[in-house]
Amino acid sequence: MNLLEEIRTKENIDIEQVEKIDLEIGPVASTAAAIKEPRLGVEGKFSVWFLAALALAEGSVTLDKFTDEKVNSPALVKLRKKIETRLDPRIGFGARFRIKMKDGTEYKNFLAKPKGDPDNPLSFEELSAKYKTTAMPALSEKQVGVLIDKIKILEKVENMNEIVALGVSHIS
């Protein structure tokens, strides 16, 4: 969904003006994310239609967005119904999209390797931001910040117990 997040940020697309989205995906996405009409937040994680709509509408796909309310949002449901998927086994973990707008404008792109793949790695800042959104429900903001700072200088940490201790939840 990196492609749709990027196009949202770059072009500031108005989802109300989207006529159609063609999405070509590989075999993993077509089987692991095959729930076409999710009803529960957890089902959204396994729906390429929801993931694509969310990425285009909001510019990011984060754990906090997998809620029943978000999956059933009228705007996202409407957008996901405009998405047609096609399997292309040659794509692997990549994706190709074409967005056709109501005024005839088209946006196209292809990503062979998704962000986080060894051939397209996340920067430390991207990885830190992703970790924050994942860890914040379990750890305090201070713990998360200190943990990221320690990991940044991991080779200088003499006692790994410091890092282990930071990963223990004190939130009840």
List, for residues 83-131, the tens digit of each pLDDT value. 999 999 998 888 999 999 999 999 999 988 888 889 989 999 989 988 9
Q: What's the pLDDT tens digit per position in 27-61?
A: 988 989 999 999 999 999 999 999 999 999 998 89
Decide if 170 contacts 140 (C-beta within 8 A). yes
Which of the listed residues 67, 82, 111 is the one where a domain comes to its end?
111
**136 pLDDT higher than 90:** no
In a domain, 87, yes or no: yes
Predicted confidence at residue 172, as pLDDT, reads 55
H or E element in which residue 159 lies: none
Average pLDDT, the chain: 91
104 and 128 co-located in one domain: no
Q: How far apart, in whole angstroms, are the C-alpha atoms of residue 83 and residue 145?
A: 38
Give the tokens for residue 107.
């946006």
Residue among 29, 35, 34, 32 at smallest CA distance from 89: 29
Report if residue 58 sits inside a domain: yes
- Rounded to a whole number of angstroms, the distance between the first and last alpha carbons of the chain is 34
76 lies in the same domain as 158: no
> What is the per-residue pLDDT for 102?
97
pLDDT greater than 90 at residue 77: yes
Q: Which of 65, 90, 111 is the last residue of a domain?
A: 111
Between CA 56 and CA 52 the distance in angstroms is 6
Q: Are residues 88 and 130 in the same domain?
A: no
Range of the domain at 132: 124-166
Q: How many domains does the structure of the chain reveal?
A: 2
**Is 138 among the domain residues?**
yes
Provide, rounded to the nearest whole percent, the portion of the chain with pLDDT above 70: 98
Look at residue 118 and tell me if it is in a domain: no
Same domain, 7 and 75: yes
Residue 74 has pLDDT above 70, yes or no: yes
Pairing of strands 83-87, 18-25: parallel
Find the mean pLDDT for residues 139-162. 90
Q: Between 19 and 163, whose confidence is greater?
A: 19
pLDDT of residue 56: 94
Tokens of 100: 């056709």
72 and 17 housed in the same domain: yes
pTM of the model: 0.82
The answer to whether residues 91 and 138 belong to one domain is no
